[in-house]
Chains A and B, each alone.
Chain A
Amino acid sequence: MGLLHGTRRALLGGRRAYTQKVLSYNPLVYFPQWENAGVVSDELINGWNGAYTGVTLGQPGIGDGNTSPFFDGLLDFNNIWTAALRAAFNGNEGTVAIWGRVNAVGVWTDAAWRYLLAMQVDVNNRLYLAKSIVNNTLQWQYRAAGVIETVALAGLTTTDWFYMALTWSGPLLLNEVRAYYNGVQTGLTQVGLGAWAGLLHANRNAIGAFDIVPTSVSHGWAAHGAVWARPLAPAEIADLYVI
């Protein structure tokens, strides 16, 4: 497990820190993105580390005492795919969440898709958290067997940090998708999911971009990306929004 990079305030001292909170919910993988140097993105659960390309590390974080990387909207990404994650990931039930922040208010109207987090098998089985090509809009999407569940939140102009989360539970379980913005569910609960099929693609699972070409690169900062193997409850998402 790579614990030698970045600031370790989160794991030292008596006061409960944000990273400890995330860990307390037992994620499948967790990338705090707190490094100040190097190309390794620490993954705190199993050491299934990500690999940075092009990011600028050591930038201001969410306010938890740790830093975050800056993505340039051009060439940057954190490749979070590993064979181990591919084997462990459950596309039919889970949660993804991440903090994001745009570089400037103009990013909201730059007419480009910018992905904070994308996890994909193929065009019919994927999920993502993204700034939409539509002005001032964030979009959450879960797609399984070609059945698409989308939630969009419009009217956004913030240049502060925001928290996106997506929970899903497939057709044989709760059969619903929920999107969360800043700890509160946004949009309607989506129902009638398809059944996820296939394994995560080696080139299409990233923080800060749609894929590792890369395309649709984020322009701003991202931190504390995590994946769970269960849909977190609304109260848990609300708690994770509190720093």
Chain B
Amino acid sequence: MAKVHCYFGVENLALNDSQRDTLSAGLRQLGPASHPQPACLCHWRKRLDGDACIFEALFDEDVLTVAVFKQRLATLFGIDPGDVGHSTSQESFAEGKTPVVTFSYGGTDYLRMALFGGTATTWMQSGDEARGYLKAYQEEWEAEL
């Protein structure tokens, strides 16, 4: 299984607190069970309001695809993955490209996921995009300004 060391972010759009916590707990299981480098173990940072999170780990490449992410959401919430819709866009927060996917269910957007730097990214490129994102939304993520 190919691995990718990168950052991704998720933003809650309409999940209730219980659903959000269920999703967060599920995403925290991604990444290796063990690794000598702390950077490769799944770790995260919450936005100050608790409704967004940035994750980093040495991920299996396929867990970050739209199809697998939909399946994960379906499993977490007990729904048919075929009923999970999505739309895609692209952002750039530094000099890279960050695909953004919005997941929906029953016509309501519930979750936004950004894969910083995209799928064919180096760790540093992914980090540059994530740092650029954090800089752009500094007031929402940083306690000290």
List chain A positions with a Cβ less than 8 A from chain B: 36-39, 52-57, 72-76, 110-113, 133, 210-211, 213-216, 219
Contact = CB atoms under 8 A, between A and B. Distances in A.
A38 B39 contact: no
Contacts of B134: 73-74, 112
Interface residues of B, number: 23
B144 A74 contact: no
A57 B38 contact: yes
B131 A38 contact: no
A111 B135 contact: yes
Contacts of B135: 110-112
Interface stretch (B13-21, B41-49, B84-92, B99-107): B41-49
B38 A213 contact: no
Contact of B45 (A39, A55, A75, A113): A75
Contacts of A56: 37-39
B59 interface: no
Contact of B38 (A39, A112, A211, A215): A39
10 contacts: A55-B38, A74-B7, A74-B54, A75-B56, A110-B135, A113-B142, A210-B143, A215-B141, A216-B142, A219-B131
Given A74-B45, A112-B135, A57 B37 contact: yes
Interface of B: 7, 36-39, 41, 43-46, 54, 56, 127, 130-131, 134-135, 138, 141-145
Contact of B143 (A55, A73, A215): A215
Residue from the set B36, B37, B127 with the largest chain A CB neighbour count within 10 Å: B37
Contacts of A52: 38
Nearest to A70: B39
B43 A53 contact: yes
A133 B145 contact: yes
Residue from the set B36, B45, B134, B142 with the largest chain A CB neighbour count within 10 Å: B45
A49 to B, nearest CB: 14
Contacts of B7: 74-75
Nearest to B127: A72
Contacts of B41: 39, 54
Given A57-B36, A133-B144, A213-B143, 7 more contacts: A53-B38, A72-B131, A74-B127, A110-B135, A215-B45, A215-B142, A215-B144
Closest 7 CB pairs of A and B: A37-B36, A56-B39, A215-B143, A52-B38, A54-B43, A75-B45, A113-B144
A17 to B, nearest CB: 25
B37 A37 contact: yes
Contacts of A113: 142, 144-145
A211 B143 contact: yes
A186 B56 CA distance: 38
Residue from the set A36, A38, A39, A54 with the largest chain B CB neighbour count within 10 Å: A54
